[in-house]
């Protein structure tokens, strides 16, 4: 058993020990901690700081401990404070005195910085994969409904028709930026902090580049005080996650709205909906609602860590131990949301009849009628006013613009001709043939471009 209380005359108070322990949370870092220790010990031997035979025993012991943990045989004793002490202590039990050499030229401060950086690198790689999977699903849904037009909204009021594929591709774009943000963060996480010691470096002739190479880092940290005392790379993950969750939460909101009886644009698969305990008719979009709700927690985790860090003098402070619960929660929440959304979206049913009916409401072609007048010679503002009056007239009659006859149109402007009937949902879509617009021709190109990104 390790003892780092050499200078104390009594053991820690029980509640105080429980209060300071992080083991229930940071035991999740056992793999990174052991990998870091193995690389460190190999380096110590290579530099003849310890002997090769000692190193072998220590590495063997650490590998055996990894197995014990993975087989559920390892006892995590809270009095051992954190994962570093728990593993080191078990090592000494297993291999004896030689285990006491593991912590040569190292501090728990650079050790934890290493563990979290290793964890963050893996978390980013996994998050990137899950973003790609969701992007692929979104693209599949867009392609499967390539020709379906849907009312586009602004202010949640019917605005202009768009292709449903165009709508979904908007989320594809958001996720693409999320992907790029995480990917970009990787190069700042990919820095090896071990060798910084407690804060000032260490007094042994260590080889930091060797450790970096062993652990797959592309560079070593340049300042020991910075290396042990910043968690900006955790914050970056959390900030990127907050933005990604914001995007997913907006998509969630649309799923809630679209699956309502009032909209009825989509129906969720039974496997991704829940019932009500009292109202038998209900099919609730719980996953989408919970994603919206969990977004609040992910924001909270970001703000919590920003707040934890903001007043800390250099270098390490125990406050930083509080980085982990929120960070792990954010990684788990984002990753689960990305994956469950892929499943949910893959199985949604797009209800074309309801969508078609919705397209007939809300004077969705009013902008196109305005543009028609402009192309016949009216100034845009004048045309806007004329069509505004026309819509008001139709609305009072309880009619659609398509249901008015040409005489009625001409009461508002003599520029209206018989060809006004050619304004349809299809013509409105086709007319928006600008780069990034919703014309079928543009959307087809966008689908091809998107497919190239995710293959």
Catalytic residues: 155, 276
Segment interacting with ligand ARG (CB under 6 A) among 107-115, 169-177, 379-387, 419-427: 107-115
Site string for ligand ARG, 34-73 (x = CB under 6 A): ----------------------------------------
In the complex, what is the shortest distance from the CB of residue 429 to ligand ARG, in angstroms, rounded to a whole number? Answer: 56
Q: Which is nearer to ligand ARG, 22 or 301 (CB)?
A: 22
Q: In this structure, what token pair is assigned to residue 26?
A: 């940071």
* Residue in 114, 309, 320, 415 binding ligand ARG, rule: CB under 6 A: 320
Q: Which residue has the tokens 């909209």?
A: 263
Q: Following DSSP, what letter does each residue of 224-262 receive, concatenated?
A: HHHHHH--HHHHHHHHHHHHHHHHHHHHHHHHHHHTSTT
In the complex, what is the shortest distance from the CB of residue 124 to ligand ARG, in angstroms, rounded to a whole number? Answer: 20
Given the DSSP bridges, would you call strands 219-220 and 191-192 parallel, antiparallel or unpaired? Answer: parallel
Q: How many residues does the chain have?
A: 455
Q: Which residue has the tokens 């005489």?
A: 407
Q: In this structure, what token pair is assigned to residue 158?
A: 């019917």
In the complex, what is the shortest distance from the CB of residue 105 to ligand ARG, in angstroms, rounded to a whole number? Answer: 16
Contacts of residue 318, Cβ cutoff 8 Å, sequence gap at least 6: 20
Segment interacting with ligand ARG (CB under 6 A) among 46-54, 56-64, 108-116, 353-361: 108-116
Q: Answer left, alpha or beta for residue 81, where phi above 0 means left and psi between -120 and 50 means alpha.
A: left
In the complex, what is the shortest distance from the CB of residue 197 to ligand ARG, in angstroms, rounded to a whole number? Answer: 12
CA-CA distance, 285 to 282, in Å (whole number)?
10
Q: In this structure, what token pair is assigned to residue 13?
A: 């108070």
DSSP 8-state secondary structure symbol assigned to residue 404: S
Question: Using the rule CB under 6 A, is 82 a contact of ligand ARG?
Answer: yes
154-159: which pairs have CB atoms within 8 A and are 24 or more residues apart? 156/257, 157/362, 158/358, 158/361, 158/362, 158/363, 158/364, 159/364
Residue 274 φ/ψ, nearest 5 degrees = -125, 160
* Residue in 112, 266, 302, 344 binding ligand ARG, rule: CB under 6 A: 112
- The answer to whether the CB of 161 falls within 8 A of the CB of 223 is no
- The answer to whether the CB of 152 falls within 8 A of the CB of 163 is no
* Residue in 203, 318, 414, 434 binding ligand ARG, rule: CB under 6 A: 318
CA-CA distance, 135 to 339, in Å (whole number)?
11
Segment interacting with ligand ARG (CB under 6 A) among 163-171, 235-243, 312-320, 437-445: 312-320
Question: Using the rule CB under 6 A, is 108 a contact of ligand ARG?
Answer: yes
Question: Using the rule CB under 6 A, is 33 a contact of ligand ARG?
Answer: no
- The answer to whether the CB of 55 falls within 8 A of the CB of 95 is no
Q: Which is nearer to ligand ARG, 108 or 130 (CB)?
A: 108
Q: Which is nearer to ligand ARG, 130 or 231 (CB)?
A: 231
Q: Which is nearer to ligand ARG, 5 or 67 (CB)?
A: 5
Q: In this structure, what token pair is assigned to residue 199?
A: 């804060």
How many Å separate Cα 255 from the centre of its chain?
A: 18
* Residue in 127, 196, 321, 333 binding ligand ARG, rule: CB under 6 A: 321
Q: Which is nearer to ligand ARG, 196 or 337 (CB)?
A: 196
SS3 393: helix
**Site for ligand ARG (CB under 6 A): how many residues?**
10
In the complex, what is the shortest distance from the CB of residue 40 to ligand ARG, in angstroms, rounded to a whole number? Answer: 15
Q: Which is nearer to ligand ARG, 112 or 164 (CB)?
A: 112
Question: Using the rule CB under 6 A, is 117 a contact of ligand ARG?
Answer: no
Residue 152 φ/ψ, nearest 5 degrees = -90, 145
Segment interacting with ligand ARG (CB under 6 A) among 214-222, 314-322, 347-355, 360-368: 314-322
Site string for ligand ARG, 267-306 (x = CB under 6 A): ----------------------------------------
CA-CA distance, 132 to 455, in Å (whole number)?
9
Question: Using the rule CB under 6 A, is 368 a contact of ligand ARG?
Answer: no
* Residue in 22, 127, 145, 259 binding ligand ARG, rule: CB under 6 A: 22
Segment interacting with ligand ARG (CB under 6 A) among 162-170, 181-189, 313-321, 366-374: 313-321
Segment interacting with ligand ARG (CB under 6 A) among 67-75, 106-114, 206-214, 242-250: 106-114
Segment interacting with ligand ARG (CB under 6 A) among 104-112, 140-148, 208-216, 445-453: 104-112
CA-CA distance, 321 to 56, in Å (whole number)?
31
Contacts of residue 252, Cβ cutoff 8 Å, sequence gap at least 6: 285, 287, 288, 289, 291, 292
DSSP 8-state secondary structure symbol assigned to residue 51: -
Q: Following DSSP, what letter does each residue of 58-75 receive, concatenated?
A: HHHHHHHHHHHHHTT---
* Residue in 2, 109, 137, 413 binding ligand ARG, rule: CB under 6 A: 109
Binding site for ligand ARG (CB under 6 A): 22, 26, 82, 108-109, 112, 316, 318, 320-321
């Amino acid at each position: 058993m390790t003892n780092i209380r050499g200078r104390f005359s009594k053991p820690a108070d029980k509640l105080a020990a429980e209060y300071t322990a992080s083991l229930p949370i940071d035991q999740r870092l056992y793999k990174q901690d052991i990998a870091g220790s193995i690389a460190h010990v190999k380096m110590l031997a290579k530099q003849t700081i310890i002997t090769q035979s000692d190193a072998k025993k220590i590495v063997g012991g650490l590998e055996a401990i990894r197995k014990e943990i993975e087989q559920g045989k390892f006892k995590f004793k809270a009095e051992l404070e954190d994962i570093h002490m728990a593993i080191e202590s078990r090592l000494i039990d297993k291999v004896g005195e030689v285990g006491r050499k593991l912590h040569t030229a190292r501090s728990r401060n650079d050790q934890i910085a290493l563990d979290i950086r290793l964890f963050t690198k893996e978390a980013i790689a996994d998050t990137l994969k899950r973003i790609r999977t969701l992007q692929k699903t979104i693209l599949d849904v867009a392609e499967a409904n390539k020709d379906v037009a849907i009312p586009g909204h602004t202010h949640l009021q019917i605005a202009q028709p768009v292709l449903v594929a165009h709508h979904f591709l908007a989320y594809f774009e958001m996720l693409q930026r999320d992907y790029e943000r995480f990917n970009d963060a990787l190069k700042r996480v990919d820095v090896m902090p071990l060798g910084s010691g407690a804060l000032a470096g260490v007094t042994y002739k260590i080889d930091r580049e060797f450790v970096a190479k062993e652990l797959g880092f592309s560079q070593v940290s340049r300042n020991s005080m910075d290396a042990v005392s910043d968690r900006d790379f955790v914050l970056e993950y959390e900030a990127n996650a907050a933005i990604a969750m914001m995007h997913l939460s907006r998509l969630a909101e649309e799923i809630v709205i679209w699956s309502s009886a009032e909209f009825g644009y989509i129906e969720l698969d039974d496997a991704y909906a829940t019932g009500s305990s009292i109202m038998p008719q209900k099919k609730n979009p719980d996953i989408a609602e919970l994603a919206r709700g969990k977004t609040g927690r992910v924001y909270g985790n970001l703000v919590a860590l920003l707040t934890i860090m903001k007043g800390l003098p250099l270098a390490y402070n125990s406050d930083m131990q509080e980085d982990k619960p929120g960070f792990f929660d954010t990684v788990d929440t984002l990753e689960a949301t990305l994956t469950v959304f892929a499943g949910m979206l893959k199985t949604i049913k797009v209800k074309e009849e309801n969508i078609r009916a919705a397209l007939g409401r809300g004077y969705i072609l009013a902008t196109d009628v305005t543009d028609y007048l402009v192309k016949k010679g009216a100034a845009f503002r004048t045309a806007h006013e004329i069509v505004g009056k026309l819509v008001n007239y139709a609305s009072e009659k309880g009619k659609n613009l398509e249901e008015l006859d040409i005489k009625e149109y001409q009461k508002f402007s003599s520029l209206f001709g018989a060809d006004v009937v050619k304004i349809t949902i299809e013509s409105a879509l086709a007319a928006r043939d600008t780069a990034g617009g919703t014309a079928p021709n543009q959307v087809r190109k966008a689908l091809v471009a998107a497919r190239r990104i995710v293959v």
